[in-house]
Amino acid sequence: MSPFVEGLLAGYGVAIPVGAVALLIVNTSIRHGFTIGFMAGAGAATADLLYATLASVAGVALTELLAPAASPLRLLGGLVLIGLACWGLWQGLRRRNQPEKTAQGGAPLRTYAQFVGITIINPMTVVYFTAFILGRGPSTYPYPLVANLLFVLGVGLASLSWQTLLAALGGLAGSRLSSRFRLLATILGNLLVFALGARILVTAIL
C-alpha cells in the first residue's frame, strides 16, 4: 500500500470517530463561527500530525515510551475534558441573554493552541497511534524518508479535511439556529463532552 494512502487511512481513522474533540470543534464553530471553528480543527489536525511524525520516525520505541504514561494521560485527559465541559456550560449559561460577541483578534491563535493541547493529551489519540505503531508493518517503499513524509502528509491532510468539515457544519448550524437553539446545542455538546471525560476518568481509576 502507498505510504500516502496508508497515512490517509490512519488520519481518517483517528479523526472520524465522534469523540470529545470533535464535539468541541462543532460546539466552538456553532458559538463563534467557521473561522474560529476552523482554527480549532487545525489545532486538532496539528496534534495528529505530530503523533504521525513520531509514529513514522520512532516506531515501536514510541510505544515503549508512551506505555508508562498511559494511565496518567488518561487521568489528565479526563480531567481536562470535564473542566472544559464545565467551562463551556458556564459560559453558555452566562451569555444566554447577551448578544454573541465578535471574536477578538487573538482568539483564533488561542483557540488553535488550545486544541493542539487538548488533542495531544486526548487518551483516544494516544491509544490509537500507539496501536497503529504496533500494527504497522515494515514499509516496502524504496525510499524510507520519502515514505515517512508521504505517510505524515496523508495523516495531516485527512485529519485537517475532516476537522474542516466539522467546523463548516457547526458554522452553518450556528448561522441558522436561533439563540435559544444555539444555547441548547451548547448545553448538549458540553454535557456529552462531560460524559466522555467522566467515562475516561472512571476507566483510568478502575
What sign does the CA torsion over 173, 105, 99, 193 have? Answer: positive
138, HSE (Cβ side, Cα atoms, 13 Å): 2
Residue 135 CB contacts under 8 Å (≥ 6 apart), including other chains: none
Burial of 206 (0-12, 13-18, 19+ CB in 10 A): exposed
pTM of the model: 0.69
Euclidean distance between CA atoms 72 and 134, whole angstroms: 21
Quick check: 101 pLDDT over 50?
no
**Which residue range forms the structural domain that includes residue 88?**
3-205
Task: For residue range 123-133, list pLDDT tens digits in order.
Answer: 667 666 666 65
Query: Are the beta carbons of 40 and 28 closer than 8 angstroms?
Result: yes
Euclidean distance between CA atoms 194 and 90, whole angstroms: 13
C-alpha cell at 5: 494512502
C-alpha cell at 156: 495531516
Task: For residue range 102-138, list pLDDT tens digits in order.
Answer: 434 448 899 999 999 888 877 667 666 666 655 555 5
pLDDT of residue 105: 41
Q: Please state the domain count of the chain.
A: 1
Query: Are the beta carbons of 27 and 88 closer than 8 angstroms?
Result: yes
pLDDT of residue 8: 86
Task: For residue range 1-47, list pLDDT tens digits in order.
Answer: 677 888 888 788 777 765 778 888 988 888 888 999 999 999 999 99
